[in-house]
Copies of this chain bind each other. A is one copy, B any other.
Amino acid sequence: MTAPGKTKMTQRRIAELAGVSQATVSLVLNGKADSDARIPEATRQRVLDVIAGTSYVADPAARRLAGVGNKILGVFTYEPAFPSGSIDFYTPLLTGIEAEAEQHGCDLLVFTSAPVENGRRRLFHENNRLGLADGALLLGREMDPVELERLVDMQFPFVAIGRRDVPGVPYVGVDYAAGTAELVRRAVALGHRRLALLHLDSTAESVLDRQRGFREEVAAHADIRVWSGPTRGDDLVGAWTRIRDFRPTVLFVESPDHAAELRRIAIDDGVEIPREVSIVVLGEVAVHDALAVDFTRLSPPRVQLGADAVALLTRILDPDDEPTDADLRRLLDCDITDGSTLVAVVE
């Protein structure tokens, strides 16, 4: 009484079994009841009964081809989503995405097939399956602006996770500028006057935002001295040497890995952490277990980010909805984790 085995189930077969036409089956399934397509309850029930006796499900490809939405959301990650290096970055996002997609009854199409070119995936390639999804979510620290423009051009519905500078790109991001500024305020309130910023050597929006938040907040105070520069993971000893001469009382470090390493180096150098030098971390994605140390740090609401992105995308896809510009480009507040590495300055 389950699947009639061999032949593939189609609306036509259902129609035969129920003694109606294929069109009727479609109408029943889609609950249409226009003035020009009326199905009495008796017929409706008969069709539904037949369907219940089979394993029939509408072919999604055919539905899509016929022009209806599919409740499939594409998920594109610029780096492999699961491997350990990126796991802390993507997993919380995916948690939120999955939960929200479930709410909306959507499936997720993960574009794992995108070819990797010098370390990053390419969204557009010969056989991309973007078109199968109703819309797409883009995840990744950095995105190719050209690809984003192209998506905008072709009016493909999508949402980027993280603020993007490309015009017309809808996104849900994190207000790193405000978060960083708040951390600066806290440091200043604790008596810090000599701050060092060790940011990543990247032009990703999130990186620039943190620098901006830092710069602007620092400018709001008169007597603060600042040292600022990029750090590379392979020369942290050199970085430390340069910072030491500046004699900062607090380090703002973007990468948790670098922070952990610098802490080691400083301690080996005879500096007491955090009594002599506080450390604040601005990022939360660690390759190693750098966060074993209880750093005071920014904690972007990643799960929320994923969920909000899905919610926004479904709004974009809803023809009855007209998201405002503010909805389309939104920043979430960045939480701060109160760790033990930011303490008051002692004279």
Contacts and interface: CB of A to CB of B under 8 A. Distances in A.
A87 interface: yes
Interface string A108-143: 111111001000000010111111100000000000
Interface stretch (A76-84, A264-272, A329-337): A76-84
A109 B73 CA distance: 9
B113 A106 contact: yes
Interface stretch (A33-41, A93-101, A191-199): A93-101
B3 A153 contact: yes
Question: Copy number of this protein in the oligomer?
Answer: 2
A5 interface: yes
Interface stretch (A53-61, A224-232, A292-300): A53-61
Interface residues of A, number: 52
A81 B57 contact: no
Interface of A: 2-3, 5, 55, 57-62, 64-65, 70-72, 80-84, 87, 91, 94-95, 97-99, 101-102, 105-113, 116, 124, 126-132, 149-150, 153-155
30 contacts: A2-B153, A5-B153, A57-B124, A57-B128, A59-B65, A60-B129, A60-B131, A60-B132, A61-B64, A61-B65, A61-B132, A70-B129, A70-B132, A72-B109, A72-B129, A72-B132, A82-B91, A82-B94, A82-B95, A82-B97, A82-B98, A82-B99, A83-B95, A83-B98, A101-B112, A106-B113, A107-B129, A108-B110, A108-B112, A109-B110
